[in-house]
Amino acid sequence: MPAMPFDTVLIANRGEIALRILHACRLLGLKAVCVYSDADRDAPYLPLADASVCIGPAAPSASYLNIEAILMAADVTGAQAVHPGYGFLSESAAFADAVNDSGRIFIGPSGDCIRTMGDKVAAKRAMMKADVPCVPGPDNELPDDMDEVDRIASQIGYPVIIKAAGGGGGRGMRIVQTPGELRSAVMIAREEASRFFASPAIYMEKFLERPRHVEVQVLCDNHGNVVWLGDRDCSIQRRHQKIIEEAPAPGIDRSKIADLGARCAAACQQIGYSGAGTFEFLYENGSFYFIEMNTRLQVEHPVTEMVTGVDIVAEQLRIALDQKLSVRQEQVVTTGHSVECRINAEDAFTFMPVPGKISALTLPGGPGIRIDTHLQQGYRIPATYDSLIAKVITHGRSREEAIDRMRGALRQFRIEGLSCNAALHAELLEDKGFIAGGVDVHYLERFLESRA
Ligand code: ADP
């Protein structure tokens, strides 16, 4: 047996996902190193790690985004591999390159793959070439010539959307309803793209008015094996932030999903992808339109784990260990339905994050209920980071059963000392539109307006 490529993983992240990755390391008999900022020195998961290293002050730029500090932490602890989690440096090609150049293993795809997919125009071009269905519009950035831009827009047909090639996090997009608004929209979009993103390039595509968000999870090893693990529906969003996710997407013809999944898997082979990834699509009037690929683990990965039984994080580690995927496509079976509610520490009305100390905590349990969280009674949630504090995930034989178990789980969930959005979830779970399934990405905003 050749020696394992690594036995110690540095987890370059925090919060619930740091703990999730730590569990996967344990499962595979790997040692885990946690890093933390000054604001996270009391994080409940740190004592569970084999080692933990402070990498700087609370500000993410000084700690969780500080490549040098993270590599130093890997140095002093002897970690030979780095898991980036989601957010922070997880989609930084420079980080992937820096980890690999330091002689360590970045748990994810190559820097080049991340770079291509991080440029939405390049990603769209690669997907069109691979026969993955895309939103109508050219796979080139917009030219400077405004007459030409005019022609492109009328060819696509209004409304159109202008997006920054290097955009992310739902920012850098402008919807244009009529030709009269086009010029100023292009100017503002260009200006914003050069100010906020790595590239000033912008591109244009058809604006879909009532789409759903449906995505496909893939896993690729370094031996040419690719599987797609079904689909997720993440249409319940507020300001492009997902709130509830489920698998599979309700009411969509399974043969269409199977065709889409096979195309995603083939595209992975074409672009030489390695690791876990997600193809995000808009779905409208029975058709799918690729919008972007996320080259990392996603927050909502548990719903896929619940319906397929595949441990996605453990697979990521196996892939990085140069092992083959533990599952072949014909073994991937989707059983029942799974729902995830993201519990955010935020004000119930303003949605502003609220930090605070947890004075009492009761986590739900029972058949078909999974909680991914790093919370503990007495823990003070820092103000600096994302407000996600727990994910409540349920599984049932049917969508109804999964939703019903979620209702029960949320009734058991009790957190004191700070406010969170559990009540909003409970309300949504009783909503006729949500119960019927298949709502579009603007549904939650309309729901919130109607009760305001
Ligand atoms: P980001 O990387 O910033 O998340 P995406 O390309 O994934 O950007 O788009 C974010 C969201 O913007 C989508 O989930 C969708 O709600 C909306 N959006 C993006 N492109 C379109 C489009 N062509 N038509 C309608 N909505 C779109």
* pLDDT mean by block of 10 residues, the chain; 452 residues: 86 98 98 98 98 98 98 98 98 98 98 96 96 97 97 98 89 93 95 88 97 98 98 96 98 98 97 98 98 97 98 98 98 98 94 94 98 97 95 98 98 96 97 98 97 78
Phi, psi of 394, rounded to the nearest 5 degrees: -125, 160
Q: Using a 6 Å cutoff on CB, does residue 204 contact ligand 1? A: no
Q: Using a 6 Å cutoff on CB, does residue 143 contact ligand 1? A: no
Q: Give yes or no: 296 in active site.
A: yes
> What would the DSSP string read from start to end of 239-307?
TTEEEEEEES-TTS-HHHHHHHHHHHHHHHHHHT--EEEEEEEEEETTEEEEEEEE-S--TTHHHHHHH
Q: Using a 6 Å cutoff on CB, does residue 245 contact ligand 1? A: no
Q: What is the pLDDT of residue 144?
A: 95
- Geometric angle at alpha carbon 255, from 238 and 333, rounded to 5°: 80
Phi, psi of 427, rounded to the nearest 5 degrees: -65, -45
User: Which residue puts its alpha carbon closest to atom 12 of ligand 1?
Assistant: 170
Q: Using a 6 Å cutoff on CB, does residue 175 contact ligand 1? A: no
Q: Using a 6 Å cutoff on CB, does residue 292 contact ligand 1? A: yes
pLDDT in tens, 298-329: 999 999 999 999 999 999 999 999 999 999 99
Q: What is the pLDDT of residue 2?
A: 59
CB-CB neighbours of 375 under 10 Å:
20
Question: How far away, in angstroms, is 356 Cα from ligand 1 center?
Answer: 33
Q: Mutate which of 124, 173, 278 to test ligand 1's pocket (most atoms within 8 Å of Cβ)?
A: 173
Q: Do residues 162 and 142 lie in contact, with contact meaning Cβ atoms separated by under 8 Å?
A: yes
Q: What is the pLDDT of residue 366?
A: 97
Question: How far away, in angstroms, is 171 Cα from ligand 1 center?
Answer: 9
CA pair distance 169, 7, nearest whole angstrom: 34
Phi, psi of 105, rounded to the nearest 5 degrees: -110, 125
145: Cβ contacts below 8 Å, ≥ 6 apart = none
| Active-site position among 296, 318, 342, 399 | 296
**Closest residue by Cα to residue 217 from 172, 159, 257:** 257
Q: Using a 6 Å cutoff on CB, does residue 135 contact ligand 1? A: yes
Q: What is the pLDDT of residue 200?
A: 87
Residue 442 gets the label, from left (phi > 0), alpha (psi -120 to 50) or beta, of alpha
Q: Which atom of ligand 1 is nearest to the CA of 167?
A: 3
Phi, psi of 392, rounded to the nearest 5 degrees: -100, 125
Q: Using a 6 Å cutoff on CB, does residue 240 contact ligand 1? A: yes
Give how far the C-alpha of residue 72 lies from the chain's centroid of Cα atoms, to the nearest Å: 27
CA pair distance 279, 285, nearest whole angstrom: 19
Q: What is the pLDDT of residue 199?
A: 81
Q: What is the pLDDT of residue 36?
A: 98
CA pair distance 354, 119, nearest whole angstrom: 34
Q: Using a 6 Å cutoff on CB, does residue 215 contact ligand 1? A: no
Question: How far away, in angstroms, is 123 Cα from ligand 1 center?
Answer: 14
Question: How far away, in angstroms, is 170 Cα from ligand 1 center?
Answer: 6
Question: How far away, in angstroms, is 111 Cα from ligand 1 center?
Answer: 24
Give how far the C-alpha of residue 141 lies from the chain's centroid of Cα atoms, to the nearest Å: 25
pLDDT in tens, 44-73: 999 999 999 999 999 999 999 999 999 999
Using CB atoms within 10 Å of the CB of residue 213, give its burial: 0 to 12 exposed, 13 to 18 middle, 19+ buried.
Answer: buried
Question: How far away, in angstroms, is 85 Cα from ligand 1 center?
Answer: 22
